[in-house]
Structure 1
Amino acid sequence: MLRNVEREGVRLTLTRRDGSGRPLLIVPGVMADAAAWQPVVTALDVPGPVYVLNRRGRQPSGALGPDYSMRTEIDDLDRVLTEIVTAEGVEQGVDLFGWSFGGLVALEATARHIDTVRSLTLYEPVVRPFGRGALDALREAAEADDLDRAVEIVNLDVSGFSAEHVAQLRRSPVWETLRPLAAPLARELTALDDHVTDLRAFAALDLPVTLLLGALNEGAAPYGEAFARFTTALPHARVVTMPGQGHLAHAQDPHALAHHIGETLRRADRHDPSACLP
């Protein structure tokens, strides 16, 4: 089921899986949309409704807009959270999950909605200077409207995947799915690099926080390095390492990721004090 939220004339769309109880909202990062997360939604064993946000720049949501920034993303999520609480009529709040770029957006929005967000789960969130070294090349690709080059850059120079991995992607049907998702990429990563975040300001968040890390990225650039900054800044967060996973568990092993998300929500539902301890 598709839901619409409007903010300042821009349409934001969400998918919704029916359920009864506290809702879960998933916020994808760059190079992903709601469709990419549907295998996780299908695998989730949770009773409440499950929403996935199609952030702006992804069809059928609206365009980034001329004044786009990370603040745009945070304000969008702020609006979406308010609309979900109103639509669902829930008093126990919303469970919020953010992946990668969407993780930082979710963290910042949670600070505004501390009475609304029941639990927060961040899967390998990123923060500046993530991707900075690839920005010039991404901007050149955007100016040339070269989506193939943008997909190549984000995989090679941002995510650090091998040339062989990119070659395999190019030969697969997935490549055509990735091309339109690369259209807003240069502006998204520019917005991330321009956004100054004092992660220490979130250390006192009074709710269960879980940080998910793919074991393949532990201590490694770029995702493991960014992850370490969040674990340092959020000392009371529960840290979970997912065996055999990297940054793309939603695509490569959605059932495993759904298991970890479900366990986090069950901990929050039981008001388990260990849910917000390392």
Structure 2
Amino acid sequence: MERSIQKYVEVDRGRVTVDVHGEPDQPAIVLIPGAMADAAAWSAVARHLDGWPTVAVVNRRGREPSGPLPDGYGLATEIEDAAAVLRGFTDVRTLFGWSYGGLIALHLANIRPVPHLIAYEPVMAPFGAAALPDLRRAQDDGDLDASITVALQQVTGMDDATTAALRADTATWSELRRLGAPAYRETLAINEAARPAVLAARAARVDLVVGERNRGRAPYGTSFDDVARHVPGAVVHELTGQGHLAHLDAPGHLASLVSRLGTLDT
């Protein structure tokens, strides 16, 4: 699925871009990335997906060429933006979300019908809550390096040596700086979001996926367990050998599982 176009979706006080792989408007899967990622980071997964003629990857606000996060930003902003994207396609068969994107998808499926929802390691409050003061300080100081360091170490649990190695790689660190600017506001949005008793109430079917390396482990595996308790009837799957960054480390492996889950409805 090499052919792709970029679609612009007008949203409240801004716009969102969507990378569309394959056909422009056929039965579709819509992917919502999470924090520290954009549509480009998910392009390899999109190219490996089978079973949907249209694969649409949302480039959430805060990532160029989409617009900036608006004043008053919160989870409700993301839900409204995602709903606008879905309205731009005539036949969305599957909604997929990763990490914060998974939380967005699960909340969206509380307010509109979704035939099939897949969420890879979705997170929810109190995910990253302890890091909020330091993230706020870094944002107020305009210190992107500090913001990324706090996000990696205090939110994701990365150790000093791994963080230092990333920082020593100029290209990788530059990319993290580009994607990490909204880290404080997005982490705050996760923790200020309402916590309904049930998530994805209007989804006909929900599959939750956790990486084998994170199963039962903080921070992602434990947050995943919190989410799973709010999605009655969801089927839980484990992606062998993988952690939170399967879309970068093993895009074909992740796409194979997602494609297999999609064929169960056909």
Q: TM (normalized to structure 1)? A: 0.89
Instruction: Kindly report structure 1 stretches of 4+ aligned residues shifted beyond 6 Å.
Output: none
Q: Secondary structure at the match of 1:201?
A: coil
Residue identity matched to 1:94: R
Which one-letter code corresponds to 2:111 in the other structure? R
Gaps of 5+ in 1: 270-278
The one-letter code sitting in structure 1 at the alignment partner of 2:39 is: A
1:55 equivalent in alignment to 2:54: no
2:100 equivalent in structure 1: 101
- Identify the residue that residue 25 of structure 1 maps to in structure 2: 30
How far 1:205 sits from its partner (Å)?
4.1
Cα distance in 1 for residues equivalent to 2:124 and 2:232: 17
Counterparts in 2 of 1:30-109, with a 5 A limit? 30-85=35-90, 90=91, 93-109=92-108
Counterpart amino acid of residue 189 in structure 2: A
Matches within 5 A, 1:1-278: 1-19=5-23, 21-85=26-90, 90=91, 93-114=92-113, 117-172=114-169, 173-198=171-196, 200-202=197-199, 204-269=201-266
Q: Write the letter of the residue equivalent to 2:100.
A: F
SS at match of 2:89: helix
Conservation of the 8 A alpha-carbon contact between 1:27 and 1:102 = yes
**Given that residues 78 and 112 in structure 1 are in contact (C-alpha distance below 8 angstroms), is that contact kept between their aligned partners in structure 2?**
no
Query: Which whole-Å CA distance do the structure 1 matches of 2:233 and 2:105 have between them?
Result: 17
Per-residue deviation, 1:134: 0.4
More helix by share: 1
Structure 1 residues 234, 7: closer, same or farther in 2, change over 3 A? same
CA distance in 1, matches of 2:253, 2:212: 13
Report how far residue 76 of structure 1 moved.
Answer: 0.8
Offset of 1:21 from its aligned partner? 4.0
Deviation at 1:239, TM superposition (A): 0.7
Q: What's the Cα RMSD here?
A: 1.4
Once the 2 structures are TM-superposed, how far is the Cα of residue 206 of structure 1 from its aligned partner?
4.8
| Rounded Cα–Cα distance in structure 1 between residues aligned with 2:123 and 2:228 | 12
Structure 1 window deviating more from structure 2 (56-65 vs 104-113): it is 104-113
Structure 1 residue 204, shift from structure 2 partner: 4.9
**C-alpha distance in structure 1 between counterparts of 2:144 and 2:200, whole Å:** 39
CA distance in 2, matches of 1:206, 1:102: 16
| Normalised TM-score (structure 2) | 0.93
Q: Secondary structure at the match of 2:115?
A: strand
Could you report, residue by residue, the CA deviation over 1:67-107 in whole angstroms, capped at 9, with x for unpaired residues?
1111111111111111222xxxx3xx431000000101001
Q: Give distance in 1, aligned partners of 2:165 and 2:46.
A: 26
Q: Distance in 2 between matches of 1:21 and 1:3?
A: 14
Summarize the Cα distance change of 1:203–1:109 in structure 2 as closer, same or farther, 3 Å threshold. closer
Letter in 2 for 1:14: V
Q: How many residues align?
A: 260
Cross-structure match for 1:275: none
